[in-house]
């Protein structure tokens, strides 16, 4: 089944404790992206990647890092999480810029 | 000004009604347009792409007006299962990043 898989689905962590949210797609898509969704603010892009080793900042990149060492994986790294990074995170992938993105099921992160 | 703007609603309509959502975008260079559907706390799912000539998929019709920079979605014969938030999405200048509207909430009642 074609899908985008994110892990974990739920995570509660403490301020400053590094964490990684994994994202993997099995559709051989070139484009991958991370979004966060907050009440009243909608979906905002954090980082995106056009291909292996090619990444760029989105609208809200501060406090996040990404890497794209393989085509299928695009992990999101929070080196020192803070409470304002409590949010619902979605990973997404697309074949190209013309087709829409397929989203993962989301990761609900709480930083206390 | 946000790149993609939508009326947040909520739109409360009875079953069987026809409902229309509009969305405006600010970047005249945008090339790709989509409507997504999002159920509460779930991931957005692609409902349909929007083409310049307009397109229809069953009860759903999407229109694009490039001159006025707006996109519309028409839902005919609303079903209870259509209750969701509908997101208008436009690609960025680069074509790699999507800009999302904040969504329009629809509630279809019996």
CB contact under 8 A, B89 and A105: no
Three-class secondary structure of residue A84 per DSSP? helix
Segments of B8-103 assigned E as strands: 11-14, 19-25, 33-38, 45-50, 55-57, 60-65, 70-75, 84-91, 98-100
At residue B84's C-alpha, the angle toward residues B82 and B85, to 5°, is 135
Helix (H, G, I), strand (E, B) or coil at B101: coil
CB contact under 8 A, B96 and A42: no
Q: Which of A40, A97, A106 sits opposite B96 (nearest CB)?
A: A97
Residue A100 has pLDDT above 90, yes or no: no
| CA angle, B66 then B67 then B68, to 5° | 90
Binned average pLDDT, 10 residues per bin, chain B of 110 residues: 86 96 91 93 93 91 94 97 96 74 95
B87 touches chain A (CB under 8 A): yes
Of A41, A100, A106, nearest to B34 by CB-CB distance is A100
pLDDT tens digit string along A13-46?
999 999 999 999 999 999 999 999 999 898 999 9
């Amino acid at each position: 089944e074609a899908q985008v898989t994110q892990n974990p689905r739920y995570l509660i962590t403490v301020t400053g404790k590094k964490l990684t949210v994994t994202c993997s797609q099995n559709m051989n898509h070139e484009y991958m992206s991370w979004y966060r969704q907050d009440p009243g603010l909608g979906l905002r892009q954090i980082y995106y990647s056009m291909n292996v080793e090619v990444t760029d900042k989105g609208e809200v990149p501060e406090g996040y890092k990404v890497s794209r060492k393989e085509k299928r994986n695009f992990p999101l790294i929070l080196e020192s999480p803070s409470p304002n990074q409590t949010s619902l995170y979605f990973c997404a992938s697309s074949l190209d810029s013309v087709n829409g993105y397929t989203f993962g099921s989301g990761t609900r992160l709480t930083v206390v | 000004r946000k790149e993609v703007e939508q009326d947040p609603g909520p739109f409360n309509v009875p079953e069987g009604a026809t409902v229309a959502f509009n969305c405006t975008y600010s970047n005249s260079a945008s090339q790709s347009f989509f409507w997504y559907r999002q159920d509460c706390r779930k991931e957005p799912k692609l409902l349909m792409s929007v083409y310049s000539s307009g397109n229809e998929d069953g009860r759903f019709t999407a229109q694009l007006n490039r001159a006025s920079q707006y996109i519309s979605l028409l839902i005919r014969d609303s079903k209870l299962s259509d209750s969701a938030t509908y997101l208008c999405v436009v690609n960025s200048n680069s074509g790699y990043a999507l800009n999302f509207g904040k969504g329009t909430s629809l509630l279809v009642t019996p």
